[in-house]
Amino acid sequence: MAYTTQMDAAAKGILTEQMRAVAEKEGMDPDLLLARVAAGRIAVPANKNHKSLVPEGIGEGMRTKINVNLGVSKDCCNLDAELDKVKEAINLKAEAIMDLSSYGKTGEFRRRLVEMSTASIGTVPVYDAVGFYDKDLADITADEFIRVFEQHAKDGVDFMTVHAGINRNTAATFARSGRKLNIVSRGGSLLYAWMQLKGEENPFYERFDELLDICAEYDVTLSLGDACRPGCIADSTDASQIHELITLGELTKRAWARHVQVMIEGPGHMRLNEIAANVQLEKRLCHGAPFYVLGPLVTDIAPGYDHITSAIGGAVAGAAGADFLCYVTPAEHLRLPTYDDMREGIFAAKIAAHAADLAKGTDDGKWDDAMADARRALDWEKMFELAIDPEKARRYRKESFPEDSSTCTMCGKMCSVRNMNSVMDGKDVNII
């Protein structure tokens, strides 16, 4: 039986090669996976032209996945340096990589990325349009925006962020809102400016059916972008954000009617106590579609440490039901991330995702139990093997070696684990 997309196959009861791989990886019953993909509650991004892909599932009952943002800009346009980051991101088991390139040979970079990456690839076509056509924003036509989207699909991109929810109605709500930080989404700001300059409707909203035709042809997952995501705590959960979210829920139903998979992108900055409610809002207004969050960043005061503010919010969001975390690096708000910034961001996001999985039960805790056993045995080599970042753990240990090799330099012979082991084994405790 023929099928067009993963969602179409699931609706027809066909377990594709990609779905079978996801079911095995997640330990999920294939029939349950089929039902959730067919209902739109799980997405399996898998462009037909991405031949090197090792597929992942994103959504209900799945482990929380992470995405790594990479790509060149006008100020930093070293393709080889970005590809080195890609290799390391894949080595560190990031499930997805988003190419946010906005300058230069974007097509060359994107095609090399798709060819080499086992991780899912995402892009934001509107970023590419200015460089692709070498035109000012006001000179780009609606047709040209659609053609860039189609080119990315042909190149093998698995999911594309499209800011289709910032239509003229949403824009009018924003204009009345008196926001402190206006629109911080790069794609959202470009489309808002384009609409203002041209006096026309957002082409990604007005011609949404054309996007669905392209998605169905190549099996591209739509990541419906949050153009009105809050860029500071003061703007969180406001009328602009919620108006757009309602629109994204309407677009989700239209996409599913064509068997096109959908993810919903979520808020950037918000207070800790608002995060769970925002996850519930998305799941309700967007009919259970997988939720993809940037952070959320829980405070605005930490430039240089925003991988931490993001990980705090990401853990809370994931525990509340968010499915996909976009990493944030220490360079957020400051510069294009370096190789080391990227590593820090990945580990912060992976820790947040794992913490969320423990909370919602998609992780059985065996990894943590194994680390507890290794710590009780003071088996340092085993602790390093189990560490999320073995390299850093080994380096810290090597830089400060204790008098008693079974302990660390924090406690030495006063180590509680060492001394409790002795007491429980009926031995003397020798501290001096």
Is 286 annotated as contributing to ligand binding? no
Is 292 annotated as contributing to ligand binding? yes
Evaluate whether 238 touches 202 at the Cβ level (below 8 Å): no
Is 259 annotated as contributing to ligand binding? no
Is 69 annotated as contributing to ligand binding? yes
Is 169 annotated as contributing to ligand binding? no
Is 396 annotated as contributing to ligand binding? no
Q: Which amino acid makes up residue 13?
A: G
Q: Are strands 58-59 and 65-70 parallel, antiparallel or unpaired?
A: unpaired
How is residue 295 written in tokens? 């952070």
Sequence-distant (≥ 6) Cβ neighbours of residue 14 within 8 angstroms: 1, 3
Residue 116, sorted as left (phi over 0), alpha (psi -120 to 50) or beta, turns out to be alpha
Evaluate whether 229 touches 184 at the Cβ level (below 8 Å): yes
- Angle formed by the axes of helices 186-198 and 125-133, to 10°? 60
Using CA atoms, how far apart are residues 200 and 158, in angstroms rounded to an integer? 29
CA–CA distances in Å: residue 274 to residues 60, 270, 278, 302: 21, 7, 6, 19
Using CA atoms, how far apart are residues 290 and 263, in angstroms rounded to an integer? 5
Is 305 annotated as contributing to ligand binding? no
Using CA atoms, how far apart are residues 326 and 337, in angstroms rounded to an integer? 14
- In angstroms, how far is the first alpha carbon of the chain from the final one? 76
Is 185 annotated as contributing to ligand binding? yes
With CA atoms as reference, report the closest residue to 176 among 256, 238, 254, 226.
238
What angle is formed at CA 65 by the lines to CA 63 and CA 71, rounded to 5 degrees?
Answer: 170
Is 76 annotated as contributing to ligand binding? no
Is 307 annotated as contributing to ligand binding? no
Using CA atoms, how far apart are residues 251 and 246, in angstroms rounded to an integer? 9
Using CA atoms, how far apart are residues 306 and 310, in angstroms rounded to an integer? 6
Sequence-distant (≥ 6) Cβ neighbours of residue 173 within 8 angstroms: 239, 240, 243
Sequence-distant (≥ 6) Cβ neighbours of residue 136 within 8 angstroms: 130
Identify the bridge partners of residue 224 per DSSP, sorted by sequence position: 162, 264
Evaluate whether 131 touches 102 at the Cβ level (below 8 Å): yes
With CA atoms as reference, report the closest residue to 149 among 50, 56, 215, 65.
215
Is 326 annotated as contributing to ligand binding? no
Is 50 annotated as contributing to ligand binding? no
Using CA atoms, how far apart are residues 402 and 346, in angstroms rounded to an integer? 30
Where is the binding site for substrate, in residues?
69, 98, 127, 163, 185-187, 226-229, 265, 292
Where is the binding site for [4Fe-4S] cluster, in residues?
408, 411, 415
Where is the binding site, in residues?
69, 98, 127, 163, 185-187, 226-229, 265, 269, 292, 333, 408, 411, 415
Where is the binding site for Zn(2+), in residues?
269, 333
